[in-house]
Structure 1
């Protein structure tokens, strides 16, 4: 039996930005490195350079990132190296707008982002540094 040199490659078409790895406390999205926090939408990835601590999270800290049309189903919140619950007031404000909040550590959130975007879920992500 001969080796035919098959190369397996992940098909990212139509999924938008996907976290492909971790670097230091930050994230790699394809060829770009985001050394701090990362904001993700189905359309773009942005550095979240001045990401607050989990306890200090406010909707204003997200800027206009979640103002998509249609609104995202939920915010996938990466809380850093470990799971921490965001402030209840932060969650209530988003839920009042019809946006759920799913919190998990940032590595798990980055992996979940890829799975959910492969399913074409209309979500946003905010990943605090590791």
Structure 2
């Protein structure tokens, strides 16, 4: 039996979430956040699903993930494909989930060393 703590290969781990915030590497984030598999999480200047724009997804593109897990809030809401056209053209996959499922899925993929990014919408 193994007794040492498994650390994600990518470096970032989402340890907890609720309706108002997520904890990444023990740090609380009360606003929408981009969590790459490596590097520092970044504020994602988004407060409402209805405000999603192409520029939000272009910012994700700059981080060069192979897969994006979009946590659309407490329930699943799908962004219009024209908003994430830049990801499609770059052949970057995107999956949409509620924020809880997005956090769990991100952790699994990051622990496997995948170049995954969680785009987590926290509406304020």
Matched, 1:95 2:88: yes
- Name which of structure 1's ranges 59-68 and 114-123 shifts more when overlaid on structure 2: 59-68
| d(CA) in 2 for partners of 1:92, 1:17 | 27
> Comparing both structures, which one devotes a greater share of its residues to helix?
2
| d(CA) in 1 for partners of 2:69, 2:8 | 21
TM-score, length-normalised on structure 1? 0.79
Matched, 1:74 2:67: yes
SS of structure 1 residue aligned to 2:88: helix
| d(CA) in 2 for partners of 1:29, 1:123 | 14
8 Å Cα contact 2:34/2:42 also seen in 1: yes
1:3-18 aligned within 5 A = 10-18=5-13
1:8-87 aligned within 5 A = 10-43=5-38, 44-48=40-44, 50-62=45-57, 64-68=59-63, 71-87=64-80
TM-score, length-normalised on structure 2? 0.82
Shift of 1:13: 4.7
C-alpha RMSD over aligned residues: 2.4
Note the residue ranges of structure 2 that are not aligned, 5 or more in a row: none
Structure number with greater Rg is: 1
Note the residue ranges of structure 1 that are not aligned, 5 or more in a row: 1-7
8 Å Cα contact 1:18/1:114 also seen in 2: yes
Shift of 1:113: 0.4
Flag the 1:109–1:29 CA change in 2: closer, same or farther, 3 A: same
- Name which of structure 1's ranges 8-17 and 96-105 shifts more when overlaid on structure 2: 8-17
